[in-house]
Amino acid sequence: MNLTAPAKRACLPLALALALAAPWAQAQQPDATDAGAAESANGLPLEELRMFAEVYGRIKDAYVEPVDDRELLQSAIRGMLAGLDPHSTYLEPEAFESLQVHTSGEFGGLGIEVGMEDGFVRVIAPIDDTPAKRAGIKAGDLIIKLDDTPVQGMALTEAVDMMRGEIGSEIRLTIVREGIEKPFEVTLVRDAIKVVSVKSRELEPEYGYLRITQFQLNTAQDMREALLELSAQRPLKGLVLDLRNNPGGVLQAAVDVADAFLDGGLVVYTEGRLPSSQLKFSAGPETLAGDVPLVVLINGGSASASEIVAGALQDHRRAVLMGTDSFGKGSVQTVLPLAGERAVKLTTARYFTPNGRSIQAQGIHPDIIVEEGRLTDVQHEDLIKERDLAGHLENGTADAGSNGDNGLAERDFQLYQALNLLKALNIVSAPRDNQS
């Protein structure tokens, strides 16, 4: 039998569909009169497979330009994953290599963690000390254009590839931001991004500050070293752990960070369909931070691993959470290597806090809500105080002290409130002197 050219082209996808169906179809021959005729014995939808073969053949025959079979099949794989959730994706060799480099802490680009939402690229969080952060990109921003190219319809990997490029080259982002009526443009210069995941400093004597920008392989060890350095001179009276705009990262790093503040108990557990996705992570009996009062700062850019840490410390009542609701990414992605240096990043489980709360699409709600803001002094120049009266008595001490300035409040109102809370906790818990 001689086949025409269109018929030959149609044979490939039809053979593919039938080959996929064969292992299941052999178990049971479908009855055309049966309502379940389109289903095989194992539930494989044969009608949809035939539809796939038909669409494949129509594209090969009727698309305006010739399409390579490999390209069509690669696109089908991308489409399968894109239809699942925003975090499942097909990684071609360059993207797979980039993902591995990203978790080690050094990569090139803009310094921005992104996801897909309604066909647009949504900013999960800008990374500290990167072009995105310096340009004022904020968590929650929607990127609708890259240079002159609309992102709607792009796969996330395509958008990420466009944002990366040669160091020193420019890219123009068109952004939609809540509260601003019209889209606006921001031009960024690509740079080599080396993420320092842990930063620390003393806010005031005996009050420390730890900032974790992202959870990498070495984050827990870096945090322990920073914490020991902060408490080397004198014991801490309070500590702020800043997880704002932390997009997450390595799960084990998050567990180890929580472990530094807990003296035992469950940190997080995962549930999925595969036995390998049924996991529990617990803290050891030793704690590095002891019972130092702890405030954890979170916001809408705190996602994934940072939500695990915040949720565990909140459930164990080890810390007071302050800020705004976190992002709500409570799903686990597993990277499954494929042939040809490719991989599939597939959502395989959900995270749950020790008390059984699902983080997914809910996020972590802080104990004390503090919105971003700025504190300014209200001057009451018409009020007269004791020190304004002629002949007033002096205070009688060498240093009357001062109320300090509002520098921190003006720079970072949420951090200012966290410091005030730590001071209040120390006042309340301080032993009272015996009075006769």
Closest CA to 161 of 103, 114, 104, 194: 114
φ, ψ for residue 126, nearest 5 deg: -80, 145
Residue in 329, 331, 345, 412 annotated catalytic: 329
Confidence band for 404, pLDDT divided at 50, 70 and 90: very low
- Using CA atoms, how far apart are residues 354 and 267, in angstroms rounded to an integer? 6
**Residues constituting the chain:** 436
- Using CA atoms, how far apart are residues 365 and 386, in angstroms rounded to an integer? 45
Residue in 200, 302, 304, 326 annotated catalytic: 304
Q: Answer yes or no: is 129 within a domain.
A: yes
- Select the more confidently predicted residue: 180 or 6: 180
Dihedral (Cα; 148, 151, 155, 156), 10-degree rounding: 100
Write down the pLDDT at residue 409.
Answer: 86
Confidence band for 387, pLDDT divided at 50, 70 and 90: confident
- On the question of pLDDT at 382 being above 90, the answer is no
DSSP conformation class of 244: T
Domain identity same for 241 and 289: yes
Q: Answer yes or no: is 418 within a domain.
A: no
Q: Answer yes or no: is 420 within a domain.
A: no
Domain identity same for 219 and 316: yes
Count of C-beta atoms within a 10 Å radius of residue 134: 14
Range of the domain at 112: 108-194
Neighbouring C-alpha atoms within 13 Å toward the C-beta of 143: 32
Count of C-beta atoms within a 10 Å radius of residue 162: 15
Q: Answer yes or no: is 341 within a domain.
A: yes
Domain identity same for 306 and 213: yes
In 262-412, alpha helices (H): 305-315, 407-411
232: left (phi over 0), alpha (psi -120 to 50) or beta: alpha
The CATH number given to whatever domain includes residue 206 is 3.90.226.10
The reply to whether 315 belongs to the active site is yes
Q: Answer yes or no: is 149 within a domain.
A: yes
Mean pLDDT throughout 119-145? 92
> What are the tens digits of pLDDT across the range 406-420?
688 888 999 999 999
> What are the tens digits of pLDDT across the range 336-372?
999 989 999 999 999 999 999 999 999 999 999 999 8
Closest CA to 257 of 309, 196, 214, 192: 309
The reply to whether 436 belongs to the active site is no
- DSSP strand E in 75-119: where? 89-91, 106-109, 112-117
> What are the tens digits of pLDDT across the range 66-99?
999 999 999 999 999 989 998 899 998 877 877 7
Among the candidates 140, 165, 194, a domain finishes at: 194
265: helix, coil or strand? strand
Mean pLDDT of the chain: 85
Largest CA-CA distance found in the chain, in angstroms, rounded = 119
- Using CA atoms, how far apart are residues 167 and 116, in angstroms rounded to an integer? 25
Confidence (pTM): 0.78
Q: Answer yes or no: is 426 within a domain.
A: no
Domain identity same for 157 and 210: no
The CATH number given to whatever domain includes residue 112 is 2.30.42.10
Domain identity same for 342 and 232: yes
> What are the tens digits of pLDDT across the range 163-200?
988 888 999 999 999 999 999 999 999 998 887 899 99
| Host H or E run for residue 224 | helix 219-230
Among the candidates 194, 216, 238, a domain finishes at: 194
Domain identity same for 143 and 240: no
Q: Answer yes or no: is 177 within a domain.
A: yes
Write down the pLDDT at residue 29.
Answer: 43
- Select the more confidently predicted residue: 106 or 267: 267
Among the candidates 194, 215, 237, a domain finishes at: 194
- On the question of pLDDT at 63 being above 50, the answer is yes
Write down the pLDDT at residue 436.
Answer: 43
Closest CA to 341 of 97, 173, 158: 97
Distances, alpha carbon 50 to alpha carbons 26, 38, 46, 111, in Å: 16, 10, 6, 44
The reply to whether 118 belongs to the active site is no
Domain identity same for 227 and 255: yes
Q: Answer yes or no: is 397 within a domain.
A: no
- Using CA atoms, how far apart are residues 56 and 67, in angstroms rounded to an integer? 10
Residue in 191, 242, 259, 315 annotated catalytic: 315
Please give the tally of structural domains in the chain. 2
